[in-house]
Amino acid sequence: MSMIAKSEGNSNIKRLEDGVYTAISSMLIDLGIQKSEKYGKSSRKFIIVWNIENEFIEVNGEQLPRVMSKEYTMSLGEKSNLRKDLQAWRGKQFTPEELEGFNLINILNKGCQLQILNTENNGKTYTNIVSIMALPKGMEINQLDHTVVFDTYDESTWNNYIQIPKWMQERIKQCENIAAQGLDIFIKEYEASLPNEEPNKEMDVPEDDLPF
């Protein structure tokens, strides 16, 4: 099975101000089958990560692109957030054929506009993507030299696990299909090798410090 879709501290990093930002998709991270305690059911989830153009953060003395992310259920059902956002991003409706199976790889390294809004809930401020829009007509954005895809069902992408922020790794380790795919063994072997590996600088940043 591939990436096919069918019919949120400690803020040492200054928050993005409310507004519309030009961005480009840089990561497509499959979280696998996740159980929702609230709704009592399981569904396949994934995260899209965007680099915000001309916005950077400093992590361990290194300048890194500022990013935002949003989690989706892997469904293009009529009322799904994924369908709504992708159609707004693409600037067109899905065709019946696309609704039968749309390869999400097609949205990687593509430019868009993100509307960012800071909202407060229970005394804590969250920076969220509230809408996604196509780039203005005629506007172009430079493509990225490096993008990341991780698919729990595609072993050829598992080596990209090291490039995923730690909080996403923790979500992946909770997926219900981790043992069936043999991904649990891969992760255990990877974690066992960590003392001999150069740590990923992004992994040192707590989840609440990341602008996701």
Integer CA distances (angstroms), 193 to 182, 187, 189, 202, in order = 17, 10, 6, 18
Tens-digit pLDDT profile for the chain (212 aa)?
566 655 544 446 788 999 999 999 999 999 999 999 888 899 999 999 999 999 998 888 888 899 999 999 999 999 999 999 999 999 999 999 999 999 999 999 999 999 999 998 888 888 999 999 999 999 999 999 999 999 999 999 999 999 999 999 999 999 999 999 999 999 999 999 987 544 454 433 333 333 33
Report the pLDDT value the prediction gives residue 12, as an integer from 0 to 100.
Answer: 60
User: 3-class DSSP state for residue 124?
Assistant: strand
Helix ranges (DSSP H) in the chain: 81-90, 96-100, 166-172, 183-193
**Which tokens go with 196?**
């001999």
State residue 189 phi and psi, 5-degree precision.
-65, -40
